[in-house]
Structure 1
Amino acid sequence: MKTLTIFTPTFNRASLLPRLYDSLKAQTNQNFVWMIINDGSSDNTDEVVKSFLEENILEIEYIKQKNQGMHGAHNTAYKNCKTELNTCIDDDDLAPKNAVELILDKWNSLGENQQKYSGIVALDAYFDGELIGSQFTTESTTLESFYLNGGSGDKKLIYRTEVMNQYPEYPIFEGEKYVGLGYKYLLADQDYQLATLNEVVCLVDYQPEGSSNNMWRQYYKNPKGFAFIRKEQMKICKSKKRILKDAAHYVAHSLKSKNGNFITESPRKFLTILAIPFGLVLYLYTLYQNKKQGGLYQR
């Protein structure tokens, strides 16, 4: 059995998949499975993936489902993953040719200490090689401590499959397609450290219509999902400044979803009350930004 699953949620991105496929074929270590999760695409994704399967070069698992959004695709990946490790590489990204080799070499170097870690956190870069954010200064970290201590930028997470399956799935809210992936990562942070790898294992190409470039639209169209993640973060986060920020966002998303019980449902009622003025401003600013951006690209 292979050690690593690279899973790729995809939605109407058939034109981009061959680029990622080529980067995976070029890997110096082929000890991985590529799991493609077709999240309700209406383009020719089936035909493109069929051509990959017919080449019979990579071990590919192809799963089709109704559109549930990125977090729903992650639920599917974790449920179906049979390897020790897993990581997500999006359909618009690439893997450097030594990505799998770097990941597995790092994992094997941990030896008997592997069980202490939820996995590995490594670096992302743009296609031109420019590093995204900062490097790591310690041998291990949690995501919360990394960012609270001045760390920055998107990072590539490689998790133990059994760890991800210890925690609840991402919730699915009717009519919404986005719940922050950080929910499960935050839960894992409470029980494990991540081993740090100061090597680039993913090259990122942020698409104009993608979530990273359209977060205000996501806020507008998925308020229940965002209220959920902010509420969960308020339960766990140790920084009062961060909790107040989460409370303001929680208020804004609750106003958008017309949840009149948001104070009684809050795990931090006093801070939530304090955050109401800030949440109201954020709610109004979300409305403004959504109108300014002219609608929603809904993944």
Structure 2
Amino acid sequence: MITVLTPTYNRGYILKNAYESLSSQTNNDFEWVIVDDGSTDETSLLVETWIKQTHDFKIYYFKQPNGGKHRAVNFGVSKAKGEYILILDSDDYLTSDAIAFVSSHLKEVAGNDFAGISGLKGWSNSHSVIGDQDNDDTFIDATNIERTKKGLEGDKAEVYKRDILLEYPFPEFQGENFLRESASWDRIALDGYKIRWYNHVICKCNYLDDGLTQKNNVEMYVNNYQGFIYCTQLSLKTASFPYNLIKIGQFEEVARASGNSNGEICKILNIGYLKLINGIILFKARKIIMTILNK
């Protein structure tokens, strides 16, 4: 069985899309675990009405104090009964064949060298695929940290083995409520676990203004600084040139806003001063280029 895990925060206005997509699945061998991360809207009342209705799948609802998506995922994984977990964001929804497609390929990744499988995400308002792959049902085997060289850029719809997620939970830093998914995914990859990345859309999304994807800014990282340090230190173990230098430059921008000097930054990242300067130059050059391209 598959657990569809949805962490949510004040998404009552759009969560219905996820619910309707699950109700329309061609394969109902799954459960839906919703972890409410301290919502103050009508989410709980909405979910209660769904639970009272008759379904071919079970719905489990948990509410906890606001602590961020990563804490909600950790908690949801601990409550899940499925052997595999598909994390469905609260503003996304599944294609009608998503569970059927995933279920039909799970035996292929039963071996110990796989952490799970992944499908593609597509835009909700078009037939366009997010990222570099085509929707042609082929696949590529690679770890999460091999994605760039394998042409697997862009947001994906990963389905991880529950046992793996229990072994590699997201770190939780006191007083911080945001952490990049790489904090778990890259640790899994560093230990050699692969994902089978299928070129098949199973999830539709549209990044909203109140979503985490749109909030990756300096202020957010400053407010979640220990987690940002953790993820940057981890990424320097996994990223190749020039991405490793870009990560250093990005860290310098946030570290400066947090009051750190160049010497402190070098100490935190265990790098030399010249590498820091090269990172700053490359990161700023990339920002200028991206600004021009987006005009």
Are positions 1:258 and 2:259 aligned together? yes
Are positions 1:135 and 2:133 aligned together? yes
Give the equivalent residue in structure 2 for 1:210. Answer: 211
Given the superposition, is the C-alpha separation of residues 178 and 81 from structure 1 closer, same or farther in structure 2, using an over 3 Å criterion?
Answer: same
**Cα distance per residue 1:209-265 (max 9 Å; x no partner):** 21222322533543332222111111x215142222222223222223334644333
Given the superposition, is the C-alpha separation of residues 173 and 138 from structure 1 closer, same or farther in structure 2, using an over 3 Å criterion?
Answer: same
Q: Confirm or deny: 8 A CA contact 2:86 2:160 kept in the other structure.
A: yes
Quote the offset at 1:168 in angstroms. Answer: 4.4
**Secondary structure at the counterpart of residue 232 of structure 2:** helix
Q: Give the whole-Å Cα distance in 2 for the aligned partners of 1:189 and 1:166.
A: 13
**Cα distance per residue 1:158-204 (max 9 Å; x no partner):** 10011112224322241x32110111110111221111211111001
Indicate the RMSD between aligned Cα atoms, in angstroms: 2.5
Q: Confirm or deny: 8 A CA contact 1:173 1:225 kept in the other structure.
A: no
Give the equivalent residue in structure 1 for 2:157. Answer: 156
Q: Confirm or deny: 8 A CA contact 1:68 1:172 kept in the other structure.
A: no
Runs of 4+ in 1 over 4 A off after TM superposition: 276-283
Gaps of 5+ in 2: 288-295
**Secondary structure at the counterpart of residue 122 of structure 1:** strand
Q: Confirm or deny: 8 A CA contact 1:224 1:257 kept in the other structure.
A: no
| Identity of matched residues, % | 25
Q: Give the whole-Å Cα distance in 1 for the aligned partners of 2:245 and 2:187.
A: 19
Quote the offset at 1:273 in angstroms. Answer: 5.3
**Cα distance per residue 1:122-168 (max 9 Å; x no partner):** 10001122111122775311222122344322111110011112224
Q: Confirm or deny: 8 A CA contact 1:231 1:246 kept in the other structure.
A: no
Give the equivalent residue in structure 2 for 1:296. Answer: none
Code of the residue aligned with 1:37 in structure 2: it is V
The normalised TM-score by structure 2 is 0.85
Alignment counterpart, residue 116 of structure 1, candidates 113, 123, 137:
113
The normalised TM-score by structure 1 is 0.84
Q: Confirm or deny: 8 A CA contact 1:141 1:196 kept in the other structure.
A: yes
**Secondary structure at the counterpart of residue 197 of structure 1:** strand
Alignment counterpart, residue 19 of structure 2, candidates 12, 21, 46:
21
Give the equivalent residue in structure 2 for 1:239. Answer: 240
1:1-299 superposed matches below 5 A: 3-57=1-55, 58-108=57-107, 110=108, 113-127=110-124, 128-135=126-133, 139-174=140-175, 176-190=176-190, 191-216=192-217, 218-234=220-236, 236-237=237-238, 239-259=240-260, 261-266=264-269, 268-270=270-272, 274-276=275-277, 278-279=279-280
Given the superposition, is the C-alpha separation of residues 281 and 11 from structure 1 closer, same or farther in structure 2, using an over 3 Å criterion?
Answer: same
Given the superposition, is the C-alpha separation of residues 168 and 153 from structure 1 closer, same or farther in structure 2, using an over 3 Å criterion?
Answer: closer
**Secondary structure at the counterpart of residue 140 of structure 1:** strand
**Secondary structure at the counterpart of residue 36 of structure 2:** strand
Q: Give the whole-Å Cα distance in 1 for the aligned partners of 2:42 and 2:14.
A: 11
Aligned residues: 277
Gaps of 5+ in 1: 287-299
